[in-house]
Chains A and B, each alone.
Chain A
Amino acid sequence: MLTSKIANELLLPQVLTAALELLINKALLLNINKGLSLQTVSEKTLTLELAELAFPLSFTVSSQAKVMVSSLTERSDCTISTSVSTLKKLKEEQQITQLIKQGELDVIGDVKIAQQFAAIAQSLEIDWQSELAKHIGDVPTHKILQFGNKVTKSLGKHSTLLQADVGEYIVHEKRLVASSGQVKRFNQQVADVSNKVDKINSRINTLFSQLSSKK
């Protein structure tokens, strides 16, 4: 976790909030879903306190329908304290109560605000193809997307194969493979046997030499 002092020295909260603000407002500008409205959360603030970050992230929707991101905590309507990994689990609403009970999630304020923010984020629709075509033209866009689809399909195929191999290894092969401790013990036993053989060999040689001297 980044310490608060280092983060502040490097103005990291300000760098991150500025980047997020730019990204979010750009995404809102490119949104093609006409049903999306920020009216429900106008002048409301959602604050995220992530365990991985030394500073909070506050998202405020202005009356001009712009999203402002800051590290201010004074004006939050809903504050969610959690971690990035738990944040991913929040997609499944039925898990929320369990996560709160487990102490992985803490919500202060009006939870409806958080749900409204989440609904807006999920209803964002961006036509990347049209946006790209505006800059580089239709044909290059088509070719790039065709290539992208091929790569995605290929990656998907390899990923499925990899998942199957890993599954096979975990379920079946891992049980049969000797652990490093077992290998170590086996090597020790082999060394012991080898020592014993050497001793017996030396003993036999001694006995042979005694026998030959008696003759």
Chain B
Amino acid sequence: MSSSDQNSQANDSSVNQQAPVDTSNNSTTHFGYKTIEKDDKISMVAGVFHSVAKQYDVMNDLMSFGIHRLWKRFTIDASGVRPGNKVLDLAGGTGDLTAKFSQLVGRDGKVVLADINSSMLNVGRDKLRDKGLVQNIEYVQANAEYLPFEENTFDIVTIAFGLRNVTDKDKALRSIYSVLKPGGRLLVLEFSKPEHELLNKAYDFYSFNILPKMGELVAKDGDSYQYLAESIRMHPDQETLKGMMENAGFEQTTFKNLTGGVVALHKGYKF
């Protein structure tokens, strides 16, 4: 199924920008505003990211006016990474966080860039190799719900702008908890709910009217960016995600709103 087909229904919903009522049950989940079978989500999300992989970095800069770089820097600063640490950059895509972590953990450390999507992983690997970052980075194609690592492996796990695309977020959080070492921490950087109503409205207008057009113009794929806007609205808000992390076993869970809550950084520890 092409991304265009996947989102034909989503396009109609751009008229009404309010997120629909959650109608998902145990066997279904969301793909943007659509309710779909859980088994279909992976391939549908894969379709989106195969389509945008090559233009991903350019689009990120355009869509966020470059602010995504500051959000990622904030994540690095909040991670407390030390030389020798083992870091898992989950849904790491084109490797922005991996590049920074790789230089901060040094020769004795290790960074694993994991993504479920092979196209994103390839773009990330090429980009990092072009930067000369080769010595302490490993690449793994993995599903966040079934992480192929031993228990208690990583000091830090990050997932930046990836959790909302995961089919079963609770399962993914439990899987992440399992691979973290005691004392390790998870950092979730994700779009969230703006704190102020005015900002929320402006953000809605931008997301549903301008963003898909930019996607069409630059990446020749407006539908994928329509999905992006919808998936952000369907993602749990700050407090809900905090609760989900706590349910998965994380302790001292906190979140910090960035840019008025457009993005939030959640942090939780495994003890």
Give chain A's interface residues, CB within 8 Å of chain B: 8, 11, 13-15, 17-18, 43, 60, 62-64, 66, 68, 70-72, 74-75
Contacts and interface: CB of A to CB of B under 8 A. Distances in A.
Interface string B125-138: 00000011101000
Contacts of A11: 67, 70-71, 73-74, 258-259
Contacts of B256: 8
Contact of B132 (A8, A13, A14, A64): A64
Given A15-B70, A62-B104, A72-B81, 19 more contacts: A8-B256, A13-B74, A13-B77, A14-B69, A14-B77, A43-B83, A43-B107, A60-B103, A60-B104, A63-B103, A64-B103, A68-B103, A68-B104, A70-B76, A72-B77, A72-B79, A72-B80, A74-B81, A75-B83
Most buried by B among A13, A17, A70: A70
11 contacts: A11-B73, A13-B74, A14-B70, A14-B74, A14-B77, A70-B73, A70-B76, A72-B77, A72-B80, A72-B104, A75-B104
A75 B70 CA distance: 21
A74 B82 contact: yes
A111 B221 CA distance: 55
A63 B70 contact: no
Contacts of B104: 60, 62, 68, 70, 72, 75
Contacts of B133: 64
B106 interface: yes
A14 B69 CA distance: 9
Contacts of A75: 81-83, 104
B220 interface: no
Interface string B110-150: 00000000000000000000011101000000000000000
A128 B77 CA distance: 34
B50 interface: no
A25 B103 CA distance: 14
A43 B258 CA distance: 30
Q: How many of chain B's residues touch chain A, expressed as a range?
A: 20 to 34
Contacts of B67: 11
B106 A72 contact: no
B103 A66 contact: yes
Nearest to A77: B83
B106 A70 contact: no
B171 interface: no
B201 interface: no
Contacts of B73: 11, 14, 17-18, 70
Contacts of B107: 43, 63
A107 B161 CA distance: 39
Interface string B251-262: 000001011000
A34 B82 CA distance: 31
A64 to B, nearest CB: 5
A70 B259 CA distance: 19
A63 B106 contact: yes
Contacts of A17: 73, 77
Contact of B106 (A14, A43, A66, A71): A43
A11 B103 CA distance: 22
A13 B81 CA distance: 17
Contacts of B132: 64
Contact of A18 (B70, B106, B135): B70
Nearest to B258: A11
Interface in B85-121: 100, 103-104, 106-107
A145 B268 CA distance: 56
Given A43-B107, A66-B103, A72 B69 contact: no
A62 B74 contact: no
A71 B70 contact: no
